[in-house]
């Protein structure tokens, strides 16, 4: 139920959203870091960004005492026939006719055929407090699939296409999936509004209503497109909700009418309408300025004006700058690297070791990771000078160190380029004995210290610590303490797992499960700063390497700068 009561949609990337709430599994917006990387490599094309709005009807009911909890996943089919995931919607609880709010952003390329495959799943209730991106699809019940090509959607007069859902082999009529395409508006304008209501009608018998708002835009082609659902406020007829951030892409213009509906939440999925009204963003701004409320009405043969009112207690127009706005204005990204030298990697002289140096020149798992990851990170690093450390090894002086300079220098920890990392790594393998235990704390604290000095000096820099490891952590709580402490700083941690170990501990550190890390003293991380990438999934073709590495960096970066009102350097009062 908690997952189903979460807010969905809007332009606020700083809010963690769970299954049943906002699906943050890749459909939340285009990743301009990935796009910029490919464009810099000459990968241009005739293309336009569009977003897909999905709804379904008459889905199969696979639940016994309730209805299915559907989630849609969108794939494209690659040239080799394999499916590549493009994004996921949120999960809608107990609904066989869902209209998903989470949109799927894709790039429509005119010159190529772009097959889309839509899978619909019934998500088991035990997963309802997790982020949708963490769900293993094979653990969910398959409700059916549909397919088309992008051009079939965009060439329709209303840019809407209804597809038959079948069992994956073309058999059966398992419902209908409707896909609507809308071109993405390139605008940074957004409004943040704070809503509250008074004197709502009580729909519950033994308690008070549990109200939430659903906001929809009236489309030019007709019909309503839901763009936001607030969180549920339990047992309250005078609720106030957290601020709602809507982008120009969502509300189109300040004069475009929005439909605001207030519902009483029911965990069966049969939410009762309390009342509705129609207002544009401009009219909502007037409510804020005049400090007056607007009455809800209840539809029927004769529309009934209700006592319940909605008020706008906050209204702020803002600019939502993108990741590229900051990078192109001179905001520097600085990468740091730490390599695992613990004994769990295996004896470097054995061909089975992850650290084995092949005399024929074949790269080991660490060298592959350094080369593949390095190509991406050095593209974004402004000076290509990387602080590089090792941890968990016995150094030449006989001491066991959990943060030693990879190049062997007693004072200088920087190396130049990927070649410098590779050279320092190979040299260290001849001079450092693999040992243990595996402790990330010291290298994280070292990186945090560098980031902290940058903040003190008011430098426009953001740091990314890349940790390459085989996945066996000796002291998880120490690592969590270091991460919580570092979460206030301009720092992200990218953990790359090599080998075939069990990476469950790494996944705990990546706060994609709807729960932020907590230190041993009870302090909660201010934001998620960890991303975990298992290289075996990259090598198996499940995730493109560039997308895997840069998936969360833009949102982590933007969460930091927006929470501190730091603007791009070419904007007045840029760094405060």
Query: Do the beta carbons of residue 498 and residue 468 sit within 8 Å?
Result: yes
- Per-residue pLDDT of 31-64, as tens digits, reads 677 766 766 666 555 567 888 999 999 999 987 7
pLDDT band at residue 321 using 50, 70 and 90 as cut-offs: confident
Residue 440 has pLDDT above 80, yes or no: yes
Q: What tokens does 431 get?
A: 């001079």
How high is the pLDDT of residue 515?
67
Rounded mean pLDDT, 470-495: 90
Residue 21 has pLDDT above 70, yes or no: no
Helix (H, G, I), strand (E, B), or coil: what is residue 33? helix
Percent of the chain with pLDDT over 90: 49
Residue 573 has pLDDT above 80, yes or no: no
- Per-residue pLDDT of 372-392, as tens digits, reads 888 777 877 878 899 999 999
pLDDT band at residue 117 using 50, 70 and 90 as cut-offs: very high
pLDDT: is 177 or 248 the higher one?
A: 177
pTM for the predicted model, two decimal places: 0.72
> What does the DSSP assignment read for 203-245?
--SSS---EEEEEEEEPTTSSEEEEEEPPP--S-SS-B---EE
Terminal Cα distance for the chain, rounded: 41
pLDDT band at residue 197 using 50, 70 and 90 as cut-offs: very high
Mean pLDDT, the chain, integer: 85
- Per-residue pLDDT of 513-561, as tens digits, reads 556 788 889 898 888 899 888 877 766 665 566 667 777 888 889 889 9
Residue 294 has pLDDT above 90, yes or no: yes
Burial readout 462-488 (b: 16 or more C-beta within 10 A, e: otherwise): bbbbbbbbbbbbbeeebbbbbbbbbbb
How high is the pLDDT of residue 268?
83
Rounded mean pLDDT, 117-138: 83
Tell me the angle at which helices 365-380 and 417-431 cross, rounded to the nearest 10 degrees. Answer: 150
Nearest-angstrom CA–CA distance, 131 and 137? 13
Residue 312 has pLDDT above 50, yes or no: yes
- Per-residue pLDDT of 231-247, as tens digits, reads 999 999 999 999 999 98
How high is the pLDDT of residue 419?
93
Residue 477 has pLDDT above 70, yes or no: yes
How high is the pLDDT of residue 512?
55
Residue 510 has pLDDT above 70, yes or no: yes
- Per-residue pLDDT of 150-168, as tens digits, reads 989 988 878 899 999 999 8
pLDDT: is 122 or 38 the higher one?
A: 122
- Per-residue pLDDT of 62-106, as tens digits, reads 877 788 999 999 999 887 788 888 999 999 989 999 999 999 988
569 phi/psi in degrees, rounded to 5: -70, -20
Rounded mean pLDDT, 169-181: 89
């Amino acid at each position: 139920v908690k997952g189903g009561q979460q807010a969905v949609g809007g332009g606020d990337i700083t809010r963690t959203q769970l299954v049943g709430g906002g699906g943050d599994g890749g459909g939340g917006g285009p990743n301009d870091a990935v796009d910029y990387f490919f464009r810099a490599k000459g990968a241009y094309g005739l293309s336009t960004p569009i977003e897909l709005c999905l709804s379904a009807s008459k889905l199969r009911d696979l639940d016994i005492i309730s209805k299915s909890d559907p989630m849609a996943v969108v794939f494209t089919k690659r040239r080799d026939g394999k499916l590549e995931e493009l994004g996921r919607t949120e999960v809608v609880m107990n609904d066989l006719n869902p209209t998903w709010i989470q949109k799927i952003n894709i790039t429509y390329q005119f010159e190529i055929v772009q097959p889309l495959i839509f899978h619909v799943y019934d998500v088991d209730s035990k997963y309802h407090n997790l982020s949708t991106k963490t769900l293993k699809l094979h653990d969910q019940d398959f409700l059916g699939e549909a397919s088309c090509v992008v051009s079939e959607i965009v060439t329709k007069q209303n840019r809407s296409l209804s597809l038959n859902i079948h069992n994956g082999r073309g058999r059966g009529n398992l419902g209908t999936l409707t896909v609507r395409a809308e071109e993405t508006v390139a605008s940074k304008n957004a409004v943040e509004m704070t809503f509250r209501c008074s004197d709502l009608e009580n729909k519950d018998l033994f308690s008070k209503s549990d109200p939430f708002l659903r906001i929809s835009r009236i489309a030019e082609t007709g019909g309503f497109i839901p763009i936001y659902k607030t969180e549920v406020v339990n047992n309250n007829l005078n609720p106030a909700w957290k601020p709602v951030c809507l982008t120009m892409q969502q509300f189109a213009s300040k004069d475009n009418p929005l439909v605001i509906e207030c519902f009483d939440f029911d965990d069966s999925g049969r939410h009762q309408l309390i009342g509705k009204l129609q207002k544009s963003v401009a009219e909502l701004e007037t409510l804020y300025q005049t400090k007056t409320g607007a009455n809800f009405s209840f539809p029927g043969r004769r529309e009934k004006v209700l006592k319940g009112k909605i008020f706008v207690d906050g209204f702020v127009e803002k600019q939502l700058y993108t990741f590229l706005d900051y990078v192109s204005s001179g905001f520097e990204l600085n990468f740091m690297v730490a390599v695992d030298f613990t004994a769990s990697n295996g004896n470097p002289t054995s061909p089975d070791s992850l650290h084995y140096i092949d005399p024929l020149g074949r790269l080991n798992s660490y060298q592959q990771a350094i080369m593949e990851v390095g190509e991406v990170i050095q593209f974004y690093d402004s000076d290509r000078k990387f602080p590089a450390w090792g941890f968990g090894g016995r150094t030449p002086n006989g001491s066991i160190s959990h943060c030693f300079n990879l190049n062997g220098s007693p004072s200088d920890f920087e190396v130049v380029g990927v070649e410098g990392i590779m050279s320092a790594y190979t040299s260290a393998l001849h001079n450092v004995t693999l040992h243990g235990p595996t402790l990330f704390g010291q290298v994280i604290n070292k990186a945090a210290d560098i980031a902290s000095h940058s903040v003190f000096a008011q430098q426009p820099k953001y740091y990314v610590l890349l940790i390459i490891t085989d996945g066996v952590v000796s002291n998880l709580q120490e690592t969590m303490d270091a991460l919580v402490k570092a979460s206030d700083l301009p720092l992200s941690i990218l953990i790359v797992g090599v080998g075939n170990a069990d990476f469950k501990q790494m996944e705990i550190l990546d706060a994609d499960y709807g729960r932020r890390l907590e230190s041993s003293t009870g302090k909660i991380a201010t934001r998620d700063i960890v991303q975990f990438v298992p290289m075996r999934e990259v090598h198996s073709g499940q995730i493109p390497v560039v997308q895997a590495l840069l998936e969360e960096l833009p949102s982590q970066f933007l969460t930091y700068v927006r929470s501190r009102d730091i603007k791009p350097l070419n904007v007045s009062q840029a760094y405060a």
